A and B are shown apart, each in its own frame.
Chain A
Amino acid sequence: MLHRCSHTLPWSIAKFGQPSDLPDVLREDLLILLPVDPERIFATWNISYQTQNSLAKILGEAAFATSRLAIHLDNLGADDDCLIFDISGPNRSRYLSLNPQWVRANGCLRIYGRLGYLLDNSQFYAITTSNATMMPCAYVKAQAAAYRQLWAEIYPQREAQAETPLLDPLSSSEVKEIDLSRLAQSLDQQLGRAPLPSWLHAES
């Protein structure tokens, strides 16, 4: 049966430059959150095949196949405030954009995540939890912008790219990221499955 949460590939897609001989499958369930800046968090995860098989037996193969792999982010400062990201696909990491209302000018935003499966009936089965991480405050970013006007890289060849928001030379046209959300949508349409609910937060 074709599984929505992994699409057609049972293994993760290696990223550009990633060695191909590193182990791809681990026997642990893991979710790690690392802040990138006040608005974005980098999530990396692993779900063991044992867990996937267990859940398939509990939920039933059909329900499991149509479930979405999701990260449930909770704002530790506000009880009912949460975001759910659909991270279905063969990747094992994603950049998640936070709710702008969460981003704080001052003080500390603490969030933690739960990795699990979201069924079509909106039920969420958590597999593992992440670390609770503190996000940098946005006030620093505002101040940094003022410094940035004066600040430049010390490598001369980087000057030309100093104005571009993304500083990574490898994300130029020679590296094509697979558009997983579009892949997910077209696969849903082909198989006649329910589309993403409107309240499900779109990840970056």
Chain B
Amino acid sequence: MSLPSRPQLALVLNAHTPYIRHPRGKWCNDEYWFYDHLLDSYLPLLDLLERLESEGLPYRLALSLSPTLLEMWADPTLQERFAQYLERKIQLAERERERCIFELELSELIDYYASRLQYYQDKYENLYKRQIIPAWSDLAKKGRLELLTTGATSALLPLLYPYTSLIRAQIKVGLETFARHLGFRPRGFWLPECAFKPGLEELLAEEGLEYTHTTPCQNVGSVPPSACGGIAPIRNANSFVFFPNDAETEIELWSARSGYYTDFAYRNATRDLSDEWPQLDLGDFQLPDQERPATGFRYFHNGPAPENEYYNLEEGRELARLHAKVFWSNRQRQLARRPWPVEAPPLITTALNCEFLGGLWYEGFTWLEEVFRLAAAPQAPLELITPSQYLEYRESLPLAVPNSGSWLDGSFGARWLNCGNDWVASATALAANRLDKMADLEDPDPLMVDNTNQALRELMLAQACDWPLLLSTGQHAQTARKKLRNHLVAFHKLYEDFSQGRVDPESLRNLRQRTPIFAHLDYRPIFQSERYQDMPTSPSAPPQPILNELWHLKESSQKLLELCQSALADPSSQELRQAISKQAVESVGLVETLAHSRQPLKSLERYRQTTLALEKLIQQVAQAQDSQQLESLSSASPEIVGAWSQAVEALLQELLAGREEHVSQAT
């Protein structure tokens, strides 16, 4: 294998929108996220790549499409609503044209927005026929675009431990959904928020996946410590590869202080028409309850407020092209500055959220196109590749496994586990425990299978990493709370139906209609595999039954004591004596049951002896011939009864301590 002459650059975009779908006939602000992303990011990216493809430009790009996004793209209800959304926006553009007819600068910008809307409406309706997934598939087949996927609902996988069944569900359902829509399975997997924990790579490799992306910090702290310092990819013993996202490029592109998109000439992403002109009537674009969604009509640039200079589209685009050249030049300097530590071509992996381009950075796709053109130029110093192309060098990569972490908060999980959102982790862990019981049911009927499938669906939707992140940042926290509540309440309703053995088909149908996602989900193959990892015993394990048995033993012993005391008071009662014998046999039997699978109990023999002594005392009291004999037996009885009580106590203590040792040994 000969190494290529040029260093490599891999561009990876992650496209994801949380699953939001309201019942028919209801428009909501949060559903606009999907429409805005589709109009501002996904359609422009598709348009760009198709244009480059038609020019024959040899670009290379890796794009992760989340399963929830694929399902929403394919949903006829959301397709219809997006078409209506486009129509309403075009009407709003017309109103704006009329309102701003005398403001020349603004008119040009509004004309651009209107023509862009009509362009994408035409493409969406007439070219794609509202189905954009086949367009992505066609691009992928041409070889320049590599598609990967992520978890089914983008749950933060390390937070699902120890329930590996749920981690498998995220991976399997994600891959199956991707394969169903696109017709093939990907080689790579995008970890949601790059959140990784050692052991996850084995679960990914089980499904035939070959690589994923991590943060540089995770690779730096790898086990064993890697000589690559977080720069080069690493692989585990089974050649599963971890590509570190480059920190320098992320800072150049994403940083809120110094990222490219903060430049003054770029369009301001926050000053929207609906906020800047709050009295303006938005017509049909306004939501039924007078809520004003973001319209996407933004007229100002990034300069400090209250600057009212309008945004200039051409200046913004020119700057984006300049920033592409700066980016290109910086990558060359970056590679020249640090020595490449492995026997494989130097590689920089730049990862971005797809919604960032076209959203927060409106000119992002102009930048991307310019980067592709610079890479395609003759004698370009860097070569664009996709991650799976780099896999041919995997045998040269050092052996290591990244450490735990994610790509926010100094690489740990504080954004998903803090005082504002940790109730989510508790609630989903408890729900996972319940789902386990539902999956344990043997030979369920079809209705019960559907019930459990829907429960899994609701739990997976509640586990999306978007919700705790929104709670943590405070943005759209109300939406996040509402979604979590709806999914968890639905889950627990399904569990209650399961535990009563009575599934309501009507209620199940309603829930299914509300979340028509992952139609082919089946929990059974997922839960057949190993359910837990890192568990000394399963969560609902034996400490509970042993405690009950101990309680029964104590109850039985208590009853025996009461009977003996009654018999001492009334020695003539044969009934009492028979009851005592029966109780004594039961008590000893309980002890034998508890003790038979464990090491010999030191206090067992003493317990047996004192129980026999007690029984013998009762018999002697019953057979006493005269009052003197009876008195002497009665005076000895406290000592015998006391010895027996102490023996019971000692036995209980030893059984409890033995249970702890048993648990310790199991770990």
Query: A residues within 8 Å of B by Cβ?
Result: 14-19, 21-23, 26, 28-32, 34-38, 42, 44, 46, 51, 54-55, 57-58, 74, 76, 92-93, 106-108, 110, 112, 114, 124-129, 131-137, 139-141, 143-145, 147-148, 150-156, 158-159, 166-171, 175, 177
Contact = CB atoms under 8 A, between A and B. Distances in A.
10 contacts: A30-B429, A37-B410, A44-B426, A108-B198, A143-B216, A152-B257, A159-B257, A167-B415, A169-B472, A171-B420
B535 interface: yes
Interface of B: 158-159, 161-162, 197-199, 216-218, 220-221, 223, 225, 230, 247, 250-251, 254-259, 270, 356, 360, 403-405, 409-415, 417-423, 425-427, 429-430, 433-434, 471-475, 477, 481, 484-485, 488-489, 492, 532-537, 539-541, 543-544, 547-548, 550-551, 554-555, 652, 656, 659-660, 663, 667
Given A44-B426, A132-B667, A144 B217 contact: yes
Contacts, number: 245
B485 A128 contact: no
B534 to A, nearest CB: 4
A34 B159 contact: yes
Give the interface centre of A21, A76, A170 by most chain B CB atoms within 10 Å: A170
B411 A129 contact: no
B185 to A, nearest CB: 29
B259 to A, nearest CB: 8
A170 B550 contact: no
A104 to B, nearest CB: 10
Contacts of B270: 156
Contact of A170 (B405, B420, B425): B420
Contacts of A129: 536-537, 541, 543, 663, 667
A126 B662 CA distance: 11
A55 B547 contact: yes
Rank and list the top 4 A-B pairs by shortest CB-CB distance, nearest first.
A140-B221, A170-B420, A131-B162, A144-B410
Contacts of A31: 539
B247 A151 contact: yes
B226 to A, nearest CB: 11
Nearest to B269: A156
Contact of B544 (A15, A51, A148, A170): A51
Nearest to B496: A23
A143 B429 CA distance: 31
Contacts of A131: 161-162, 532-535, 539
A55 B656 CA distance: 11
B414 A36 contact: yes
Contact of A23 (B420, B429, B492, B537): B492
Nearest to B478: A17
Contacts of A18: 423, 427
B554 A57 contact: yes
A17 B420 CA distance: 8
A72 B410 CA distance: 29
